[in-house]
Amino acid sequence: MNDLHPLILKFGGTSVGTTEAMQQAAQAVQQAREANPGVVVVTSALSGITDRLLRATAAATEGVNGAAAAEAAESVYAAHQAIAAALLPAERREAILHAVRSRTETFRRLLEAIAVLGEVTPRAYDAVASLGERMSAPLLAAVLEASGIPARAVDAAELIVTDAAFRNAQPDMAASMPRIRGALLPLLREGVVPVVTGFIGATPEGITTTLGRGGSDYTAALLGAALEAAEVWIYTDVDGVMSADPRIVPDARTLPRLSYREVAELAYFGAKVLHPKTIRPVIERGIPLRVRNTFNLGGPDTLVVAQGEPVPGTGKAVTLVRGLRLATVEGRGMLGVPGVAARTFSAVAATGTSVPLITQASSEQSITFAVPAEAAPKVAAALEDTFAAEIARGDIDRVALTPPVAIVTLVGAGMSHTRGVAGRLFTAVGTAGVNVIAIAQGSSEVAISFVVDAAEAEAAVRAVHGLTKQ
């Protein structure tokens, strides 16, 4: 059994992306160690670095000369050099910058190889994408050391075993757990803070993989589960999870407590919070998560636990998903015909398109669903091909696409047990002059979603957010 129950601290890119951010991260680690002497840090790449690496990689498929590859590598090096120059003593700085230079040289060589091939294989993609974390972890560990905190950089490729599904690899927890515990527990017992690269794993053969969207959060959750952590703290640049996007709703507020289910709904419907897949390891073990602001360490935060605090009748938060269109399959000949929905969504799935919302008339004469706007034309074409015979016979009248729309979702546990929620919701939206195009509410008590014209989306969010304060 584990005799330690450490805190896992994960820092996103904005939390380590500048000199000020690195200083704040070091202060956050120091404060955490005062609460719990066992601290494990997981770090993302510096803000913007992974995007920069991948943009250069995409450009390399079109051909890149040596000078262009060197310029891309130098820009990545310069970002790390600026932080090292400001925060590290000269003797420590030289060693760290040597390690960073080695990674940027690897990057330059990869660009040149990709340019020769004219394509990026999934394995090469992950090799490039992993470099940002492999540069930030040693740098952050050195900054912690310079702040008087014993620390050591640890490559997650040595800890997390995955399959070979490059770009979105799935961890093997049974194989990973002994590696995680064997590498990190001795460091914790020595009072050392391990600084682990987020986002990265490796196949059993040692080939680098990446964990996909929210990968660094996923790393933190995996470590938390393996080490039986007291809590997992996710550091961002906002005060926890907000009741709405503060750029749309200036008086949005921090939600002090949410359930895992509520966070999953918020993430699914567009809020920039924890991705459901990434927090599954801690959900399964009942480990609390806390979302904190690196730049406001004494400010409010959000605790995420198994059971949230029901707020009768009003919901807690409002989210917005933009960039969508509605697709509709309709026709009188659909009435009572089995298999129409199955064929519809099989056709959509064949295009590789995700469907965030579905609604169907009780008469069974139409099925409407949302798809990303950029995928809408190919989805419509696939549906017309699938139902070509029915369209020719007149059983299906048409496959139609709307202009751009958005999904607005009210999230909060307990809404389905409170009378009048939907009435108050749509009264508020109507009073704001917003037309509701489609509505979807499942058996879940956590969320009500509706679709509005893209131009009316922000007005709808503000109208619904007003209900959460009642």
Angstrom distances, CA of residue 233 to CA of 28, 274, 356, 380, 387: 10, 11, 29, 43, 50
Q: Is residue 465 part of a domain?
A: no
Whether 55 maps to a domain, the answer reads yes
DSSP 170: P
Q: What pLDDT shows up at residue 231?
A: 96
Q: In the prediction, which pLDDT does 419 show?
A: 72
Residue burial 252-283, b: 16+ Cβ < 10 Å; e: rest: bbbbebbbbbbbbbbbbbbbebbbbbbbbbbb
Which residues of the chain register pLDDT less than 50?
Answer: 1
Say what the pLDDT of residue 1 is. Answer: 43
pLDDT at 362: 59
pLDDT number for residue 260:
86
Q: Residue 70: which CATH number?
A: 3.40.1160.10
The pLDDT tens digits for 9-55 are 999 999 999 999 999 999 999 999 999 999 999 999 999 999 999 99
Distance (Å, whole) CA 130 – CA 197: 9
CA atoms of 299 and 301, how far apart (whole Å): 7
Q: Which positions ≥6 away from 9 have C-beta within 8 Å?
A: 28, 29, 32, 39, 40, 41, 42, 220, 233, 235
Looking at residue 189, its amino acid is R
Q: Does residue 319 form part of some domain?
A: no
Q: What is the pLDDT of residue 445?
A: 65
Q: Is residue 136 within 8 Å of 45, Cβ to Cβ? A: yes
Residue 360 burial (10 A CB sphere; 0-12, 13-18, 19+): middle
Domains contained in the chain, number = 1
Q: State the greatest distance between any 2 C-alpha atoms of the chain, in Å, as a whole number.
A: 80
Tell me, yes or no, if the pTM score tops 0.95.
no
- Residue 147 belongs to a domain: yes
390 CB neighbour count, 10 Å cutoff: 18
* Domain assignment present for 251: no
Let me know if residue 350 belongs to a domain: no
Of 46, 146, 180, 158, nearest to 103 by C-alpha is 46
- pLDDT at res. 384: 95
Domain membership flag for residue 220? yes
Beta strands in 314-468 (DSSP E): 317-330, 358-360, 366-372, 398-401, 405-411, 436-440, 447-453
DSSP run (H or E) holding 193: strand 193-197
Residues of the domain holding 113: 7-237
131 alpha carbon, distance to own chain's centre? 19
Tell me how long the chain is: 470
CB 303 within 8 A of CB 288: yes
CB burial of 311-323 (b: ≥16 within 10 Å; e: otherwise) equals bebbbbbbbbbee
Alpha-helical segments (H) within 201-333: 215-226, 260-268, 276-285
- Asked whether residue 420 is domain-assigned, the answer is no
- Please name the amino acid found at residue 83: I
The span from the first CA to the last CA of the chain, in angstroms, equals 47
Residue pair 328/400 in contact (Cβ under 8 Å)? The answer is: yes
Q: How far apart are CA 463 and CA 470, in angstroms?
A: 12
